[in-house]
Amino acid sequence: MLSLLVYLWRNYIRTKMRGLKIGNLAIAVPIVQGGMGVGISLSGLASAVANEGGVGVISSAGLGLLYKNLSANFLEASILGLKEEIRKAREKTLGVIGVNVMVAMTNFADMIRTSIAEKVDLIIAGAGLPLDLPSFLKKGSTTKLVPIVSSSRATKIICEKWKTNYDYLPDAVIVEGPKAGGHLGFKEEQISDSEYALEKLVPEIVKELKPFEEKYHQSIPLIAAGGIYTGEDINNIMKLGAAGVQMGTIFVTSHECDASEAFKQSYIDAEEKDIEIIKSPVGMPGRAIFSNFIAKVRDGKKQPVKCPFKCIKTCDISKSPYCIIVALINAFKGNFENGYAFAGSNAFRATKISSVKEIFQSLLREYKESKGK
Ligand SMILES: Cc1cc2nc3c(=O)[nH]c(=O)nc-3n(C[C@H](O)[C@H](O)[C@H](O)COP(=O)(O)O)c2cc1C
């Protein structure tokens, strides 16, 4: 206990940022790197972030395609691929490593079971309400469970259901606002409505969590995500009650990001007008950088011939204009004639590729400067 306090204090002195505690996990810098599929955040990016004192997160989406060399069976290749990525991350860092799993994926249970068996530090689950997530924990499991929500209502439902059905409360909660990249938990008309802004959601959800924290004597830190790009943004959102932040877009333009150089370059080349809301076949809106592929879909020029992987529960191939997993794999490789890059609303602000260390240094400097303002 004493050594934990000394550790947190030393890091506080170094960063002047309050560390984040998730259960007994001590996170020196309260920055969680958002899980980014397909293939954008794997062991390379996750371990680099963990080495800087943040939480590195491996995306489990589409690993069956990235690891098709390990098995011709998509589901089996996904499990083997996830094990491989966790192993590689562990080789590169002693820091905190999480896995992002989307509820909407048909292999949700496989990815959760594998993450727990491999003893990852935490599981972050979104794109749907992970109502049965605690049921996967085994006696003696140490993996922490962190749901992603986009409203105080969803927060309450998860806390109540988990407590009633499993006598478990979330170890932390991530609220993802409408400026995030990838799939968004909002209706299209809510995305630009200030009622749904992250700055509005954070205090509401802190308030929603309070009675659970008080009644069950357990702290449930709230982590804010979506549109946080600078140290000043971190300071501002923490002032509203967030205990930490989750950031995705800023880490795409890092050397360690696992995407192709062309994917990273698409962020640097993008202008603000290129960042668009698209209708994803998953049935949710998404934010992405405009590409020729998006234009072809809008013109009705795309039709999937078959559904190769049945990867998403809500995807109906007879109505989908394309296979999203194939489109995202193509983008990961830099092929924007047949895919598109998901991106947060700030993606156009990237001007160069930096190391994760440099990104952390800038964020900490900006945070300190904004504190002094
Ligand atoms: C390229 C990209 C892919 C993403 N993929 C996922 C994903 O697979 N699962 C998920 O829960 N969130 C995903 N996200 C959301 C991020 O994890 C993160 O919460 C969000 O982007 C935070 O907002 P920011 O990008 O403005 O920092 C993705 C975001 C981006 C930019």
pLDDT digits (tens, 9 = 90+) for 25-37: 999 999 999 999 9
182 lines ligand 1 (CB under 6 A): yes
One-letter amino acid for residue 329 of the chain: I
344 lines ligand 1 (CB under 6 A): yes
Q: Beta strand 182-183 with 285-289: parallel, antiparallel or unpaired?
A: antiparallel
Q: What percent of the chain has pLDDT over 70?
A: 95
- How many whole angstroms from 373 Cα to the centroid of ligand 1? 30
Over residues 237-258, the pLDDT tens digits come to 999 999 999 999 999 999 999 9
Per-residue confidence at 10, pLDDT binned at 50, 70, 90? low
Per-residue confidence at 328, pLDDT binned at 50, 70, 90? very high
Per-residue confidence at 12, pLDDT binned at 50, 70, 90? low
Of 135-144, 226-235, 274-283, give the lowest mean pLDDT range.
274-283
Over residues 263-316, the pLDDT tens digits come to 999 999 999 999 999 998 888 899 999 999 999 998 887 666 677 788 888 888
Kindly give, in sequence order, each residue whose CB lies less than 8 Å from that of residue 355, ignoring residues fewer than 6 positions away. Answer: 48, 254, 255, 256
Residue nearest to atom 1 of ligand 1 (CA): 342
- What's the chain's length in residues? 373
What is the pTM (predicted TM-score) of this model? 0.95
CA distance 303 to 300: 8
Whole-number pLDDT of residue 308: 75
Q: Distance of alpha carbon 299 from its chain centroid, rounded?
A: 31
CA of 33, closest atom in ligand 1: 17
Q: How many CA atoms lie within 13 A of 170 on its CB side?
A: 32
- How many whole angstroms from 141 Cα to the centroid of ligand 1? 27
Whole-number pLDDT of residue 195: 96
- How many whole angstroms from 209 Cα to the centroid of ligand 1? 24
Cis peptide before 282 (omega within 30 of 0): no
Whole-number pLDDT of residue 8: 57
CA of 57, closest atom in ligand 1: 17
SS3 of 48-80: the string is: HHHHCCCEEEEECCCHHHHCCCCCCCHHHHHHH
Whole-number pLDDT of residue 302: 66
Give mean pLDDT, residues 166-192: 97
Q: What is the DSSP letter of 105?
A: B
Whole-number pLDDT of residue 17: 83
CA of 259, closest atom in ligand 1: 1
Per-residue confidence at 202, pLDDT binned at 50, 70, 90? very high
Contact status, residue 147 vs residue 156, Cβ threshold 8 Å: no
Q: What percent of the chain has pLDDT over 90?
A: 84
Burial class (CB in 10 A: 0-12, 13-18, 19+), 183: buried
**Cα separations (Å) of 63 from 186, 244, 245, 322?**
26, 28, 26, 19
Best of 36, 103, 230 for a ligand 1 pocket test (most atoms within 8 Å of beta carbon):
36
> What sections of the chain are H helices per DSSP?
2-15, 43-51, 63-66, 74-92, 108-117, 152-166, 198-216, 231-239, 249-252, 261-269, 292-298, 324-333, 356-372
185 lines ligand 1 (CB under 6 A): no
CA distance 345 to 180: 6
Give mean pLDDT, residues 100-129: 96
233 lines ligand 1 (CB under 6 A): no
178 lines ligand 1 (CB under 6 A): no
